[in-house]
């Protein structure tokens, strides 16, 4: 590893990865970004904090799920993870050394209300942890962006009523939890996120069963209707909390609130097929507009979903529709998590009774044998920056809200070896291409994009994949917990300085 790379200085040509296919040797152009464009990093509480039962924290559904036998999480758990709970000060100093504007993190609900419910005791030690974290960030001129829910519901509310499966109970408990956070932390927070990736909560946790609490057909749960009940609960809980924030806190705290939606972009498997072309739009509706239309437009679910799912999809009551319409204008930005693009093919065979895709199939190779892009350290994540640009346009045209890219990044192959991990050319190349796509969307397409938060600050516990894939710009040795900056971290530091200078 050269001294230049250690210092984070290199030419754009260093970012070109030879995939032995000319179409894959994409050049990073280092295009400009607006002067006020904010960059930062993102994490989630369960993935980095550790301290699973420290200082009064209660168990979450992930504490339970990651200890099941036989294991459903690669035999690993996040009891310690990155031990960020005990290493906060040092981690913030690392962040500050990169010149980040923003740090997006989540609060562990069961750390501040161990049993989760509206009548349950508050854990002041948990409150103190997050209060100190916020103060230290501000002392280093880093703006905190706080996610209220990143997949880790308190185990007690799941045991009591199934968490998201009881809309009324969850809505009331989540509102109480959010009110506590706004009351204790809101005087120092300017951006809130209610839920991270409701699609994943609904499908991966309540249909595929790969995430906590692990509901799936094999476990005997109702995968035909549960995911749609969960989504309904999230939408209404978001609206309730957003409206409560606007009515009680926004004027005095001068903050913003929204939700973070994830989504791939899709290209037709066969460009000549009208069925495949239709399927690309249908898949975006089922993935993104499922939540985006009720939250940002105050509308019903997309008609295509209503027609396909029938009575599997819950109906909004008149009172709920009024809530959505009043809450929609409160959302001042669109939080966008995006990693990759896929081809989509319309299926001709009858779908399974619990199908959630609109009878489509996602693929990495199209009808002509062309790959959507080079593969990263995980098979599902391909490098496809043009798809990212198209998705930015799709979201902007549909919702007309400034977009913040709240997660984007990739793992590299061979990162279990620290020398390979630190000299992460592939990740730098990915970041460069995706930042160029943002620049083009802003300056050529007129899309409002206000910020970019790299996923992730550090290697961490990647849910059911355990400690395998590494997405961090900081390497973590999970035996010693030593942190080592990767060259992608230095690249982001330097490129944001340079891109702003060019603008």
136, 407, 415, 462: the catalytic one is 407
Distance between CA atoms of 381 and 338, rounded to whole angstroms?
10
Does the active-site annotation cover 218? Answer: no
Strands (E), 302-430: 334-337, 341-346, 360-363, 403-407
Q: What is the CB neighbour count within 10 angstroms for residue 29?
A: 13
* 330 three-state secondary structure: helix
Quick check: 196 and 150 in contact, CB under 8 A?
Answer: yes
Quick check: 232 and 307 in contact, CB under 8 A?
Answer: no
Strand partners for 485: 474
* Interaxial angle between packed helices 198-206 and 290-297, expressed in degrees from 0 to 180 and rounded to the nearest 10: 140
| Maximal CA-CA distance, the chain | 64
Say if strands 143-149 and 102-106 run parallel, antiparallel, or are unpaired: parallel
CA-to-CA separations, 354 to 208, 263, 445, in angstroms, rounded = 10, 20, 38
197, 226, 267, 415: the catalytic one is 197
Distance between CA atoms of 287 and 471, rounded to whole angstroms?
23
Quick check: 502 and 32 in contact, CB under 8 A?
Answer: yes
Distance between CA atoms of 178 and 299, rounded to whole angstroms?
24
Does the active-site annotation cover 361? Answer: no
Q: DSSP of 174-200, one letter per residue?
A: HHHHHHHHHHHHGGG-SEEEEEE-HHH
Distance between CA atoms of 437 and 420, rounded to whole angstroms?
26
CA-to-CA separations, 157 to 115, 201, 456, in angstroms, rounded = 7, 16, 29
Q: Return the closest-CA partner of residue 279 out of 381, 382, 361, 221.
A: 361
Eight-state DSSP code of residue 284: H
Residues serving a catalytic function are: 197, 407
């Amino acid at each position: 590893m050269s001294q230049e790379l250690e210092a984070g200085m290199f030419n754009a040509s260093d970012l070109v990865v030879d995939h032995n296919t000319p179409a894959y040797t994409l050049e990073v152009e280092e295009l400009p970004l607006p002067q006020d464009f904010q960059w930062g990093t993102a994490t989630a509480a369960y993935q980095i904090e550790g301290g699973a039962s420290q200082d009064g924290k209660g168990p979450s559904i992930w504490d339970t799920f990651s200890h099941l036998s036989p294991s459903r999480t690669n035999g690993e758990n996040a009891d310690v993870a990155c031990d960020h709970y005990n290493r906060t000060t040092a981690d913030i100093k690392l962040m500050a050394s990169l010149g980040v504007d923003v740090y997006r993190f989540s609060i562990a609900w069961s750390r501040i209300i161990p049993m989760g419910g509206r009548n349950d005791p508050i854990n002041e030690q948990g409150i103190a942890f997050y209060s100190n974290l916020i103060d230290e960030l501000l002392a280093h001129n880093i703006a905190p962006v706080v996610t209220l829910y990143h997949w880790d519901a308190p185990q007690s509310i799941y045991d009591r009523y199934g968490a998201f499966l009881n809309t009324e109970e969850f809505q009331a408990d989540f509102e109480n939890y959010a009110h506590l956070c706004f009351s204790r932390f809101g005087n120092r927070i300017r951006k809130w996120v209610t839920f991270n990736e409701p699609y994943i909560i609904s499908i991966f946790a309540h249909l595929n069963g790969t995430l906590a609490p692990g509901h799936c057909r094999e476990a005997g749960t109702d995968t035909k209707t549960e995911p749609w009940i969960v989504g309904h609960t999230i939408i209404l809980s978001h609206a309730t909390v957003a409206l409560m924030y606007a009515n009680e806190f926004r004027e005095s705290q001068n903050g913003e609130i929204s939700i973070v939606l994830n989504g791939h972009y899709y290209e037709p498997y066969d460009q000549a097929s009208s069925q495949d072309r239709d399927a690309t739009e249908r898949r975006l509706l089922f993935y993104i507009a499922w939540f985006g239309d009720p939250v940002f437009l105050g509308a019903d679910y997309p008609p295509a979903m209503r027609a396909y799912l029938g009575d599997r999809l819950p109906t909004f009551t008149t009172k709920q529709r009024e809530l959505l319409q009043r809450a929609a204008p409160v959302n001042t930005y669109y939080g966008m998590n995006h990693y990759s693009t896929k081809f989509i093919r319309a299926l001709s065979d009858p779908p399974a009774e619990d199908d959630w895709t609109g009878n489509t199939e996602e693929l990495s190779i199209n009808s002509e044998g062309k790959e959507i892009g080079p593969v990263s350290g995980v098979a599902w994540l391909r490098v496809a920056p043009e798809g990212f640009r198209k998705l930015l346009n799709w979201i902007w045209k549909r919702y007309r809200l400034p977009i913040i890219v709240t997660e984007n990044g990739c793992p590299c192959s061979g990162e279990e070896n620290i020398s390979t991990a630190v000299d992460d050319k592939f990740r730098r190349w990915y970041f460069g291409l995706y930042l160029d796509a943002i620049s083009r969307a802003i300056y050529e397409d007129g899309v409002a994009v206000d910020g970019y938060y790299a996923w992730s600050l550090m290697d961490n516990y990647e849910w059911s994949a355990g400690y395998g894939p590494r997405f961090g710009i900081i390497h973590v040795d999970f035996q010693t917990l030593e942190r080592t900056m990767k060259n992608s971290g230095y690249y982001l530091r330097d490129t944001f300085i340079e891109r702003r200078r060019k603008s």
